[in-house]
Amino acid sequence: MTSLEDSSCNHFSNGTYAKKVDFGVGCQEGQTFSLEEGLTGQVVRDRSTVILRTYSDVAKGHISPDDPRWNCAVIGVPIQWDERVIGTCIIFWANPERVFTPDDAALAELFASHAAIALKNSELHALASEREQEAAIGAERERAVRDVHETIGRSLAALLLSLEDADKAFRQDGLDTTASQHIGTARNIAHDALAETRRTILRMGPASLAGRDPRVAVAEELT
């Protein structure tokens, strides 16, 4: 009967541990306890294998005295990585007449070393998956920015050319200079918008915020 307890160093560092997995024990799985309780607490505090002739020797144990395992031998092995305890493996003998031997302890410690590798591999796979997702999101963001530049940027460039042609036509025909002034204003707005679009594709902030306190710039825009 095996219980894998805790896979979080943060729990250990906070003076607690959480029971993650039980196989045939049902020892309050999913709950969190102080390191002063249970065999797991003793294993973490000692940072070494603990062998008890009966579970009843555990300080503040989590199994009822009415449970058959109360009088069975138990061994607790630390699951370690980089000299840190990241979990424990608790094993009971089903036969009250049996006790754990040094050979049993060596076998349990070998299992714990493989468990540590499995736990770390799981963490690495989860981290790699998260980074792949972040990379995919970043690539999609880049694609969206390029699309903005391709569509809005080209439209603004075309608008600028049209405004230039309109302004030239007005000047050549000697028409109302007021209309020419409005065209010039529109041309300046379009030029600024195109510049901001290019700053966006280059991951630069708005030109109005360059070297300025954002709060001051916003306040000036609102006045």
For the stretch 98-110, pLDDT in tens is 889 999 999 999 9
Q: What region, left, alpha or beta, does residue 168 occupy, with left being phi > 0 and alpha being psi -120 to 50 degrees?
A: alpha
pLDDT at residue number 28: 66
Average pLDDT, the chain: 76
- Which parts of the chain are beta strand (E)? 2-5, 16-23, 32-34, 50-52, 74-81, 84-92
pLDDT band at 5 (very low <50, low <70, confident <90, very high): very low
- Give the tens place of pLDDT for each residue, 19-32: 776 665 556 667 78
Confidence of residue 77 (pLDDT cuts 50, 70, 90): very high
**pLDDT exceeds 60 at position 174:** yes
Contact present, 30 and 5 (Cβ < 8 Å): no
1 pLDDT above the threshold of 70: no
| pLDDT higher than 70, residue 64 | yes
pLDDT above 90 coverage of the chain, percent: 8
Residue 52 pLDDT level (bands cut at 50, 70, 90)? very high
Global pTM value: 0.53
The pLDDT assigned to 51 comes to 93
Q: pLDDT digits over 112-144, tens only?
A: 889 888 888 888 888 888 888 888 888 887 787
Position 147 scores a pLDDT of: 74
Using the CB atoms, write b or e for 181-192: b if 16+ within 10 Å.
Answer: eebeebbeebee
* The amino acid at 15: G
Write down the pLDDT at residue 93: 85
The answer, yes or no, to whether residue 46 has pLDDT greater than 80, is yes
* Residue 27, helix vs strand vs coil: coil
pLDDT for 66 beyond 70: yes
Kindly tell me the burial class for residue 77, based on how many C-beta atoms sit within 10 Å of its own C-beta (0-12, 13-18, 19 or more). buried
Quick one: pLDDT at residue 7? 36
Alpha carbons 13 and 74: distance in angstroms, whole number: 25
